[in-house]
Amino acid sequence: YSHVAHDCIVGDSLVMSSHSALGGHVRVGDCVNVGWGAGVHQFCRLGRHSMVSACSKLVQDVPPFMLADGSPAEVRSINKVGMERSGFSNDEIEVARGVFKKLFKGDMNRSQAIEYLEKEFSWKENEITKEIIAFAQSSERGLA
């Protein structure tokens, strides 16, 4: 079985594997995958097309299109397989990968990376970039 606690808001096409659990007030976007035995702390948010790997302990938000893994979970990569299965183009997947690299693997802190992505012309007009930036800026628990 899986558990969805009180006051959760769950989007369409959520896949929750056995023994996974969402704490109270968790907000889940569309097309999210929560792996076997994963636990999501109360008040966390999972952006659309994100994934939480099996046996992960998630205590912070996972931006759209990202994959979080570990205990505590950290964003490790984009959810490439999920994006491919949902029909995203290779160009869109590469944009998500570029944003991931700036936010999570670059030499800037998250605030600097967001500022860079907002100002850099090649990024700022892209819908995937806008969605990830808006999600990151509205995070109250921080990003995994």
Tokens describing residue 92 = 């869109």
Q: How far apart are CA 34 and CA 120, in angstroms?
A: 33
Q: For the chain, how are helix, strand and coil distributed in percent, rounded to 5? A: 35, 25, 45
Does residue 23 have an active-site annotation? Answer: no
Q: How far apart are CA 12 and CA 119, in angstroms?
A: 32
For residue 43, the tally of other CB atoms under 10 A from its CB is: 16
Does residue 98 have an active-site annotation? Answer: no
DSSP letters, 87-105, are: T--HHHHHHHHHHHIIIII
Q: Which of 3, 6, 106, 142 is catalytic?
A: 6
Does residue 7 have an active-site annotation? Answer: yes
Q: Which of 3, 12, 24, 142 is catalytic?
A: 24
Q: Which of 7, 12, 106, 142 is catalytic?
A: 7
* Residues annotated catalytic, as ranges: 6-7, 24
